[in-house]
Amino acid sequence: MWFHKPKPPPVAAAQMLWLSPIHDTTEAYLMAACALCSFAVSAVLFLVSLVLGSRLRAWQRLLPWQRMAFAADVVSLAHAAVVTPLGFAALSTTPYRAGTSCGAGGWGSDSLVTAPSPRVLVVACGISCGQFCFDCLLLCLYRDECAARFDPAGGSWVMWMHHAVHG
């Protein structure tokens, strides 16, 4: 019939899950390894920032939440400095071009969901997941300090929403 549109072919559930970059088990292991390494590096960098910060003269005048914020900001800055170039590299290598189709002889995939993921994208996602998990741990361990930093009246719910949306 003229009003009947054919259904698109089904996409694998792993590919549909939040536009996941994981398309096979090798990528899953790579992403998990990057997340674990990122979590460990974030923890070490946080502790080193606290130790080195304590040697500054102005450190004693800082409130506890400001000390925690300093170390957390160092971790976030390092994360941004590493992941931003990886993200741009992933964008430049993603085999997706709007309006093309692999089946029609075009280059790339006709959907970002089904496009094969470059390894650099998997690495960037893994690093971000590890840092976000570490940040969530900080939100749990330093609940009062985070509440004082972000919203003394309402707590740190804004940061939890930030991690839920971006994670």
Rounded Cα gap, residues 87 and 70, in angstroms: 25
Domain extent for 143? 24-48+62-94+112-166
Residue 16 lies inside a defined structural domain of this protein: no
Residue 130 lies inside a defined structural domain of this protein: yes
Whether the full predicted model's pTM is greater than 0.85, yes or no, is: no
Answer whether 35's CB lies under 8 Å from 127's CB.
Answer: yes
Answer whether 146's CB lies under 8 Å from 65's CB.
Answer: yes
Residue 66 lies inside a defined structural domain of this protein: yes
Digit-coded pLDDT (tens) for 49-101: 999 999 988 888 988 888 888 999 999 999 999 999 998 888 777 655 555 44
Q: Is the dihedral of CA 164, 16, 14, 33 positive or negative?
A: negative
Tally of structural domains, the chain = 1
Residue 55 lies inside a defined structural domain of this protein: no
Digit-coded pLDDT (tens) for 8-54: 545 444 444 444 555 667 888 888 999 999 999 999 999 999 999 99
